[in-house]
Amino acid sequence: MSRRYYAKGKKTYAKDQNFEQDQLGEEKERYLISIDLMSLKTLKDYDIMGWRGEFYFKADGPKVFKARFPNKGTIKLQRNQNFTSKADMNLWSQFKTVKAGAKAVERVTIILREQDHLKRNETIAEEEYVINLPSKTRYDVLQDSKEQTKAKLRIQATRTRY
């Protein structure tokens, strides 16, 4: 029977290691800003053939922060169908560091689109959300002008130690 050899490694911890979780100092605060999809419902057929609508979201944050949800593919819904997720589906998130006591505002535009292979992708709903830091969790409804397609969103900006 063969023997197993175990190599003893060197100690890899850093000298003067600090176990504090918040290493920003007292003059700065860090926030986690996130927008999550809670549900999506449509009352209309968006497809030319009348099969199903193929939806996706685009988020446009400050500077170069942009996102698409889902990253690949679409959410497929037929008429009068409701999409709810068991887990939180994050449309957009960002860490933001600000000076302590200073008021900060973040603006994010969320766009709901319907993908169609025979014509251009149609923008169904678009809204700009103003998020104050810090703020309590709030729920908003993103809907089209005729109120036939609605997306329920959870918007939160919480202080974090990381």
| Domain ranges within the chain, ordered by starting residue | 28-160
Q: Say whether pLDDT at 158 is over 70.
A: yes
Do the Cβ atoms of 46 and 114 come closer than 8 Å? yes
Closest listed residue to residue 97, CA positions, set 134, 60, 46, 53: 134
Q: What confidence score (pLDDT) does residue 150 get?
A: 93
110-138, pLDDT tens digit by residue? 999 888 777 778 888 999 999 998 889 99
Query: Per residue in 1-54, pLDDT tens?
Result: 677 766 666 666 666 666 555 555 667 888 999 999 999 998 887 766 667 788
Place of tokens 């709810």: 84
pLDDT number for residue 115: 85
Structure tokens at 133: 């830091």
**Does residue 74 carry a pLDDT above 90?**
no
How far apart are the C-alpha atoms of 111 and 86, rounded to whole Å? 22
**Matching CATH number, 28-160, of 2.170.120.12, 2.60.40.1930, 3.40.720.10, 2.60.40.150:** 2.60.40.150
Q: Which is more confidently placed, 101 or 125?
A: 125
Candidates 127, 139, 140, 131; CA nearest to 158 is 131
pTM above 0.85, yes or no: no
Residue type, 75: I
Question: Could you tell me which residues come within 8 angstroms of residue 147 by beta carbon, excluding any fewer than 6 positions away?
Answer: none
